Structure 1
Amino acid sequence: MKTTTTNIFFTLLLVFISWGVSFAQSGKSGGSKISGSLSNEQGKPMDYATVSLIRATDSTVVKGALSNDNGLYTFDHINAGKYIIKATAVGYEKAATTPFTVSENATTVAAPALSMKAGNTTLKTVNITANKPLIERKIDRTVMNVENSVLAAGNTAMEILAKAPGVTIDKDDNISLKGKQGVTVMINDKLTYLTAAQLATLLKSTDGNTIKSIEIITNPSAKYDAAGNSGIINIKLKKNSQSGTNGSITVGAAKGKFWRDNSSLNLNHKQGNLNVFGTLSRGDNKRLREIAIDRTTKDSTGKPSYFRQFTPMQSTNHYNNYRIGADYDVTSKNTIGFVVSGYSNTEKDNNDGKTTIGSQPNTIDTSLNTKSIIDQSYKNFALNLNERLKIDTSGQELGIDLDYSKFKNNSNARYDTYYFLANGNSAKAPQLLRNQTPSNITIYTAKVDYAKPLTKTIKLEVGAKFSSVKTDNDLRAQIDEGDGYINDTTRTNRFIYTEKITAGYLNLNKQFKKTSVQLGLRSEYTQSNGDLMGQSAVNRSYLNFFPSVFINQTLNDKNEISFSYSRRIDRPGYDDLNPFVYYLDPYTYSQGNAFLRPQYTNNFEFNYTYNKSINVSLGYSRTTDVIAELVLTQGQKTFETHQNLQTQDSYNININAPYTITKWWTGNVNVNGFYLGFKSNGVNNQGNLNNGQAAFQAKTTQTLTFGSYRFEIMGDYQSALTYSIFKIKPRYGVDAGVSHSFADKKANIKLALDDIFYLRRNNVSSQVLNNDFQVRQKGDSRVARLTFTYNFGNSKIKSREHRSGADDEKGRVKGNN
Structure 2
Amino acid sequence: MKTNILNIFRTLLLVAISWSTSFAQDGKSGGTKVSGSLSNEQGKPMDYATVSLLRATDSTVVKGALSNDNGVYTFDRINAGKYIVKATAVGYEKAATKPFVVSENTATVAAPALSMKAGNTTLNTVTITAAKPLIERKIDRTVMNVENSVLAAGNTAMEILAKAPGVTVDKDDNISLKGKQGVTVMINDKLTYLTAAQLATLLRSTDGNTIKSIEIITNPSAKYDAAGNSGIINIKLKKNSQSGTNGSVTVGVAKGKFWRDNSSLNLNHKSGKLNVFATLSRGDNKRDRDINIDRITRDSLGKPSYFNQLTKMQPTNHYNNYRVGADYDMTSRNTIGFVVSGYSNSWLDSNNGKTNISAAPNQVDSSLTTVSTINQTYKNFAANLNDKFKIDTSGQELSIDLDYSKFKNNSIAQYDTHYFLPDGSPQHAPQLLRNQTPSNITIYTGKVDYTKPLSKTVKFETGAKFSSVKTDNDLQAQIFDGNTYINDTTRTNRFIYTEKITAGYLNLNKQFKKTSVQLGVRAEYTQSNGNLMGSTSVDRSYLNFFPSVFINHTLNDKNEISFSYSRRIDRPGYDDLNPFIYYLDPYTFSKGNAFLKPQYTNNFEFNFTHNKSLNISLGYSRTTDVITEIILTEGQKSFQTSLNLQTQNSYSLNIDAPFTITKWWTGNININSFYLGFKSDSVGTGRLSDGQVTVQAKTTQTFTFGSYRFEIMGDYQSPLTYGIYKIKPRYGVDAGLSHSFANKKVNIKLAVDDVFNIRRNNVSSHTLGNDFDIRQRSDSRVGRLTFTYNFGNSKIKSREHRSGADDEKGRVKGGN
Distance in 1 between residues matched to 2:792 and 2:72, nearest whole Å: 30
Shift of 1:397: 1.1
1:189-268 correspondence runs (5 A)? 189-268=189-268
Long gaps (5+) in structure 1: 1-23, 41-45, 90-94, 118-124
What is the letter of the counterpart of residue 729 of structure 1? K
Shift of 1:197: 0.2
Give per-residue Cα distances to partners, 1:731-787, cap 9 Å, x unaligned: 000011100111111101010111011100100000110000010111100000000
Instruction: Note if contact 1:30-1:107 (Cα within 8 Å) is conserved in structure 2.
Output: no
Match of 1:536 in 2: 536
Flag the 1:52–1:770 CA change in 2: closer, same or farther, 3 A: closer
Flag the 1:72–1:450 CA change in 2: closer, same or farther, 3 A: farther
What is the letter of the counterpart of residue 719 of structure 1? S
SS of the residue 1:701 aligns to? strand
Distance in 1 between residues matched to 2:57 and 2:656, nearest whole Å: 39
Instruction: Note if contact 2:69-2:797 (Cα within 8 Å) is conserved in structure 1.
Output: no
Shift of 1:75: 2.6
Flag the 1:128–1:708 CA change in 2: closer, same or farther, 3 A: closer
Instruction: Note if contact 1:287-1:780 (Cα within 8 Å) is conserved in structure 2.
Output: yes
Instruction: Note if contact 1:29-1:512 (Cα within 8 Å) is conserved in structure 2.
Output: no
Give per-residue Cα distances to partners, 1:292-342, cap 9 Å, x unaligned: 000000111111100000000111110000011111011111110011100
Instruction: Note if contact 2:34-2:78 (Cα within 8 Å) is conserved in structure 1.
Output: no
Distance in 1 between residues matched to 2:778 and 2:633, nearest whole Å: 26
Distance in 2 between residues matched to 1:657 and 1:69, nearest whole Å: 28
What is the letter of the counterpart of residue 515 of structure 1? T
SS of the residue 2:482 aligns to? coil
Distance in 2 between residues matched to 1:87 and 1:153, nearest whole Å: 33
Match of 2:376 in 1: 376
Flag the 1:746–1:555 CA change in 2: closer, same or farther, 3 A: same
Instruction: Note if contact 1:471-1:496 (Cα within 8 Å) is conserved in structure 2.
Output: yes
Distance in 2 between residues matched to 1:637 and 1:626, nearest whole Å: 25
1:65-464 correspondence runs (5 A)? 65=65, 74-82=74-82, 101-103=101-103, 106=104, 108-111=106-109, 129-464=129-464
Instruction: Note if contact 1:370-1:418 (Cα within 8 Å) is conserved in structure 2.
Output: yes
Give per-residue Cα distances to partners, 1:135-172, cap 9 Å, x unaligned: 11000000000101000000000000000000000010
Instruction: Note if contact 1:70-1:393 (Cα within 8 Å) is conserved in structure 2.
Output: no
Flag the 1:693–1:803 CA change in 2: closer, same or farther, 3 A: same
Distance in 1 between residues matched to 2:624 and 2:62, nearest whole Å: 50
Instruction: Note if contact 1:407-1:441 (Cα within 8 Å) is conserved in structure 2.
Output: yes
Distance in 2 between residues matched to 1:349 and 1:60, nearest whole Å: 63
What is the letter of the counterpart of residue 797 of structure 1? I
Identity of aligned residues (%): 79
What is the letter of the counterpart of residue 746 of structure 1? K
Instruction: Note if contact 1:371-1:416 (Cα within 8 Å) is conserved in structure 2.
Output: yes
Distance in 2 between residues matched to 1:115 and 1:388, nearest whole Å: 32
Match of 1:752 in 2: 751
Shift of 1:413: 0.1
SS of the residue 2:462 aligns to? strand
Match of 1:5 in 2: none
Distance in 2 between residues matched to 1:114 and 1:68, nearest whole Å: 17
Give per-residue Cα distances to partners, 1:94-122, cap 9 Å, x unaligned: x999987434xx355332599999xxxxx
Flag the 1:436–1:457 CA change in 2: closer, same or farther, 3 A: same
Shift of 1:86: 10
SS of the residue 1:553 aligns to? strand
Match of 2:500 in 1: 500
Distance in 1 between residues matched to 2:615 and 2:112, nearest whole Å: 37
Shift of 1:36: 6.1
Shift of 1:360: 0.3
Shift of 1:499: 0.4
Match of 1:567 in 2: 567
Flag the 1:66–1:464 CA change in 2: closer, same or farther, 3 A: farther
Match of 2:664 in 1: 664
Match of 2:781 in 1: 782
Shift of 1:33: 2.4
SS of the residue 1:151 aligns to? helix
Distance in 1 between residues matched to 2:48 and 2:273, nearest whole Å: 19
Instruction: Note if contact 1:550-1:562 (Cα within 8 Å) is conserved in structure 2.
Output: yes
SS of the residue 1:440 aligns to? strand
Instruction: Note if contact 2:26-2:456 (Cα within 8 Å) is conserved in structure 1.
Output: no
- 1:645 and 2:673 correspond: no
Task: Name the TM-score, length of structure 1 as normaliser.
Answer: 0.91
Shift of 1:454: 1.1
Match of 1:547 in 2: 547
Instruction: Note if contact 1:570-1:598 (Cα within 8 Å) is conserved in structure 2.
Output: yes
SS of the residue 2:192 aligns to? strand
Distance in 1 between residues matched to 2:107 and 2:168, nearest whole Å: 48
Shift of 1:34: 2.2
Shift of 1:48: 7.7
Match of 1:688 in 2: 687
Flag the 1:145–1:67 CA change in 2: closer, same or farther, 3 A: closer
Flag the 1:461–1:697 CA change in 2: closer, same or farther, 3 A: same
Match of 2:527 in 1: 527
Equivalenced residues, count: 776
What is the letter of the counterpart of residue 428 of structure 1? H
Match of 1:720 in 2: 719
Flag the 1:316–1:702 CA change in 2: closer, same or farther, 3 A: same
What is the letter of the counterpart of residue 632 of structure 2? L
Instruction: Note if contact 2:263-2:281 (Cα within 8 Å) is conserved in structure 1.
Output: yes
Shift of 1:548: 0.5
Match of 1:34 in 2: 33
Shift of 1:582: 1.1
Match of 2:9 in 1: none
Give per-residue Cα distances to partners, 1:457-485, cap 9 Å, x unaligned: 11111111110000000000001011200
What is the letter of the counterpart of residue 756 of structure 1? V
Flag the 1:745–1:73 CA change in 2: closer, same or farther, 3 A: closer
Distance in 1 between residues matched to 2:732 and 2:441, nearest whole Å: 38
Shift of 1:78: 2.5
Match of 2:11 in 1: none
Distance in 2 between residues matched to 1:374 and 1:342, nearest whole Å: 23
Flag the 1:49–1:310 CA change in 2: closer, same or farther, 3 A: closer
Shift of 1:25: 15
What is the letter of the counterpart of residue 341 of structure 2? S
Match of 2:5 in 1: none
What is the letter of the counterpart of residue 580 of structure 1? F
Shift of 1:796: 0.8
Flag the 1:477–1:29 CA change in 2: closer, same or farther, 3 A: farther
Shift of 1:241: 1.1
Distance in 2 between residues matched to 1:84 and 1:153, nearest whole Å: 42
Distance in 1 between residues matched to 2:135 and 2:770, nearest whole Å: 41
What is the letter of the counterpart of residue 763 of structure 1? N
What is the letter of the counterpart of residue 653 of structure 2? I
Instruction: Note if contact 1:727-1:765 (Cα within 8 Å) is conserved in structure 2.
Output: yes
1:611-622 correspondence runs (5 A)? 611-622=611-622
Shift of 1:583: 1.5
Match of 1:558 in 2: 558
Match of 2:3 in 1: none
SS of the residue 2:762 aligns to? strand
Flag the 1:112–1:262 CA change in 2: closer, same or farther, 3 A: closer
Long gaps (5+) in structure 2: 1-22, 40-44, 90-94, 116-124
SS of the residue 2:557 aligns to? coil
Shift of 1:421: 0.6
Match of 1:17 in 2: none
Distance in 2 between residues matched to 1:86 and 1:730, nearest whole Å: 49
Distance in 1 between residues matched to 2:61 and 2:579, nearest whole Å: 65
Distance in 2 between residues matched to 1:733 and 1:578, nearest whole Å: 36
Distance in 2 between residues matched to 1:812 and 1:61, nearest whole Å: 48
What is the letter of the counterpart of residue 529 of structure 1? N
Shift of 1:27: 11
Instruction: Note if contact 2:25-2:511 (Cα within 8 Å) is conserved in structure 1.
Output: no
Instruction: Note if contact 1:514-1:554 (Cα within 8 Å) is conserved in structure 2.
Output: yes
SS of the residue 2:351 aligns to? strand
Shift of 1:561: 0.6
